[in-house]
Structure 1
Amino acid sequence: MTGAGLLNFGFEFVEIFAFIVLATVGLAVIFGMMGIINLAHGEFILVGAYATTFTFAAGLPLPLAMLTGVVLTAVYGLVLERLIVRHLYGRLLDSMVVTWGISLVMIQLTRIVFGNTAPGIGIPFGQLPIVDGPVYYLVLAAVAVGVLGGLYALFMWTEFGIRARATMQDEATARSMGVDTDRMYMSTFAVGSGLAGLAGALYAPVMTVTPEYGTGFLVEAFVAVVVGGASVLVGTVLASGLLGTVNAAVTNVAGTFMGQVAMLIAAIVAIRLMPDGITGVLADWRENRGESQ
Structure 2
Amino acid sequence: MSLSSLMNQFINDFSFLILAAIGLAVIFGMMKIINLAHGEFIMLGAYITTLSAQAGVPLIISIVFGAIGVGIMGYLIDRLIICRLYGRTLDSVVVTWGISMVIQQGMLIIFGPSLQGVSTPLGSVSFAGSTYSVYRILLFAISIGALFLLYLIFMKTKFGLYSRATMQNQEIARSMGVNTNRIYSMTFSIGAAFAGLTGGLYAPTMAISPTFGTGFLMQSFVTVIVGGANPLIGTSLSGGVLGIVNSILDTTWGTFFGEIGLLICAILVIRLLPLGFSGVVEKWFVRKRRM
TM superposition score normalised by structure 1: 0.95
Whether the aligned pair in 2 keeps the contact of 1:54 and 1:119 (CA below 8 Å) is no
2:65 paired with 1:68: yes
Aligned with 2:205: secondary structure?
Answer: coil
Find the partner of 2:4 among 4, 7, 21: 7
2:76 paired with 1:82: no
Aligned amino acid, residue 128 of structure 1: V
Partner of 2:26: 29
Query: Cα distance, 1:62 vs. partner?
Result: 0.4
Partner of 1:250: 249
Alpha-carbon distance in structure 2 between the residues aligned to 1:178 and 1:287: 28
Query: Cα distance, 1:266 vs. partner?
Result: 2.1
Post-superposition Cα deviations, 1:92-135, rounded to whole Å, max 9, x if no partner, equal 11110000011111111111110011121111110121323411
Aligned amino acid, residue 154 of structure 1: I
Aligned amino acid, residue 23 of structure 1: A
Query: Cα distance, 1:290 vs. partner?
Result: 5.5
Query: Cα distance, 1:283 vs. partner?
Result: 3.0
Partner of 1:147: 146
Aligned amino acid, residue 189 of structure 1: F
2:106 paired with 1:109: yes
Greater mean alpha carbon deviation, residues 197-206 or residues 265-274: 265-274
Consecutive unaligned residues in structure 1, runs of 5 or more: none
Alpha-carbon distance in structure 2 between the residues aligned to 1:279 and 1:171: 21
Aligned amino acid, residue 83 of structure 2: R
Partner of 2:216: 217
Query: Cα distance, 1:136 vs. partner?
Result: 0.6
Whether the aligned pair in 1 keeps the contact of 2:28 and 2:229 (CA below 8 Å) is no
Counterparts in 2 of 1:269 and 1:96: CA distance versus 1, 3 Å: same
Alpha-carbon distance in structure 2 between the residues aligned to 1:60 and 1:119: 16
Alpha-carbon distance in structure 1 between the residues aligned to 2:100 and 2:22: 19
Aligned amino acid, residue 231 of structure 2: V
- Which stretches of structure 1, 4 residues or longer, exceed 6 Å deviation after superposition? none
Partner of 1:159: 158
Partner of 1:195: 194
Counterparts in 2 of 1:287 and 1:167: CA distance versus 1, 3 Å: closer
Partner of 2:235: 236
Aligned amino acid, residue 144 of structure 1: S
- Percent identity, aligned pairs only, is 48
Whether the aligned pair in 2 keeps the contact of 1:229 and 1:278 (CA below 8 Å) is yes
Partner of 2:274: 275
TM superposition score normalised by structure 2: 0.96
Query: Cα distance, 1:256 vs. partner?
Result: 2.1
Whether the aligned pair in 2 keeps the contact of 1:243 and 1:267 (CA below 8 Å) is no
Q: CA RMSD in A?
A: 1.4
Whether the aligned pair in 2 keeps the contact of 1:40 and 1:100 (CA below 8 Å) is yes
Whether the aligned pair in 1 keeps the contact of 2:222 and 2:262 (CA below 8 Å) is no
Aligned amino acid, residue 21 of structure 1: I
Aligned with 2:131: secondary structure?
Answer: coil
Query: Cα distance, 1:264 vs. partner?
Result: 1.8
Aligned pair count?
Answer: 289
Alpha-carbon distance in structure 1 between the residues aligned to 2:100 and 2:112: 17
Alpha-carbon distance in structure 2 between the residues aligned to 1:125 and 1:78: 34
